[in-house]
Amino acid sequence: MAGYNEIDRVRTPQGSYVGSTMPGSDGKPASARRGILSAIPVPLVLVTLVLLAYGLVTVWSAIQGDPDYSFSRQLMGVGLGVIAMLIMYRIDYRQLAGFTTVLLVINVALILSPHLPVIGVTTMGATSWINVGMQIQPGEFAKVTVILLDASVMARYGGRLDDPRAYIKALVYIAIPFLAIMTQPDLGTGLVYLVIGAVALVMGGARLKYLLITLGAFVAAIAAVFAVDEVIKQATGEYKLLQQYQRNRLLVFLDPSADTSDSGYNLQQAMIAIGSGGLFGKGLGNATQSSLGFLPEAPTDFIFCVLAEQFGFLGVMVLLGLYLALILICCRIARGASTLFGTLVVCGVIGMWLFQIMENIGMDIGLMPITGIPLPFMSYGSSFMVVNFALLGLIGSVYAHK
């Protein structure tokens, strides 16, 4: 993998240096000669502010009268997120490229920390939280280090990975965070880790043959898990490998009428909420499906349904337009990155956000299985908000060190 100094010494066809740390004619680094606005992705900031405001308004309306949620806690998440964003922005992301092993250790430590006695918290059958004066979800924060880890692993191959042994080694690095998160178990977050890894492999230049073999093996492994679990059920009377609610969610995806008491009910109520919004919606605060308690987990998993019911089809199109602008701006930053590592970092964030958007909205309309994957900058959750802002700061660092 190219070192820090080597990365900076990239020449243009004309022979001049490209890189923010190379001196100019005045002897100062290029970054020191640029104005402050030229080092900040202003369109990204503006789109994020509008998206954030849209999300806060929707969350505020969704939690009215519900004592389990606090709008001040959501605002605290935004405040902490802004601090995390500024910290990540000030870090030269290129200095993180060579710390593959360190990033792996940090990942595993974060993901396994809920298993520690005293601080670990088990909720709804998953040990995903820790209590350190306040409850936080380390698996969420590990998304940042997973992106850095996968980008670091693939950047060392210079955009082309042909050696099968090196490919297997890269797969091991990528698979370890997924295996760790499944000890909680948290399948939704685990899927996000896999998507980030898949993006790193594709954008990092892994051979198509290796990717197809990996995909086939993954599908076969899923089928084997279901088959073995059925055998275990016949022998012991209960499933061991997959939780019952996880199986129910998959069955409801295949047949929405298969379960009308739990996952199937959630899907039906979600589709009712979206359909009742019509073209212009019922208006802010008039989302009856959530306010009357028909729609479960409305501020988190089903926040899109609240938005659709309140603001209608036009409100949904505004949200999708904002997401499209966010993704396109990030794609442009990825293309302009000065290093392969930077490109892979931004592509990892893009892949994660795209998957979360498609999965969250898709599950609300019956096109994807129901999972606990939140909607970026929209869903309630302070840990989730901090992570999204930290990733924005990381993208800003890539942009600033062009």
pLDDT surpassing 80 at residue 252:
no
Cβ 277 vs Cβ 313: under 8 Å? yes
pLDDT digits over 33-89, tens only? 445 556 888 899 999 999 999 999 999 988 887 788 889 999 999 999 999 999 999
**Integer Cα distance of 372 and 363 in angstroms:** 10
What are the pLDDT digits (tens) for 176-212?
A: 999 999 888 888 899 999 999 999 999 999 999 999 9
Please state, in angstroms and rounded to a whole number, the distance separating the CA atoms of residues 79 and 291: 27
- Distance from C-alpha of 326 to C-alpha of 363, rounded to nearest angstrom: 22
The model carries a pTM of 0.84
- The secondary structure of the chain, three-state, reads CCCHHHHHCEECCCCCEECCCCECCCCCEHHHHCCCHHHCCHHHHHHHHHHHHHHHHHHHHHCCCCCCCCHHHHHHHHHHHHHHHHHHHHCCHHHHCCCHHHHHHHHHHHHHHHHCCCCEEEECCEEEEEECCCEECHHHHHHHHHHHHHHHHHHCCCCCECCHHHHHHHHHHHHHHHHHHCCCCCHHHHHHHHHHHHHHHHHCCECHHHHHHHHHHHHHHHHHHHHHHHHHHHHHCCCCCCCHHHHHHHHHHHCCCCCCCCHHHHHHHHHHHHHHCCCCCCCCCCCHHHHCCCCCCCCCCCHHHHHHHHHHHHHHHHHHHHHHHHHHHHHHHHHCCCCHHHHHHHHHHHHHHHHHHHHHHHHHCCCCCCCCCCCCCCCCCHHHHHHHHHHHHHHHHHHHCC
Rounded mean pLDDT, 210-220: 93
What residue ranges do the domains of the chain occupy? Answer: 50-206+243-400
Q: What are phi and psi of 265, to 5 degrees?
A: -65, -45
What band does 304 get if pLDDT is binned at 50, 70 and 90? very high
What count of Cα atoms within 13 Å lies in the side-chain half-sphere of residue 317? 7
The answer for residues whose C-beta is within 8 angstroms of residue 352's C-beta and 6 or more apart is 143, 147, 192, 195, 196, 199, 391
How far is it, in rounded angstroms, from Cα 160 to Cα 203? 9
Residues 6+ apart with CB under 8 A from 322: 47, 50, 51, 54
Q: Provide the pLDDT for residue 261.
A: 54
Spatial distance between the Cα atoms of 377 and 56, rounded to a whole number of angstroms: 8
Q: Residue 258: what pLDDT?
A: 56
Tens-digit pLDDT profile for residues 320-355: 999 999 999 999 999 999 999 999 999 999 999 999
Residue 267 near residue 370, CB atoms below 8 Å = yes
Is the separation of the CB atoms in 51 and 357 below 8 Å? no
**Packing angle of the helix pair 303-335, 263-276 (nearest 10 deg):** 80
Is 399 a residue whose pLDDT tops 50? yes
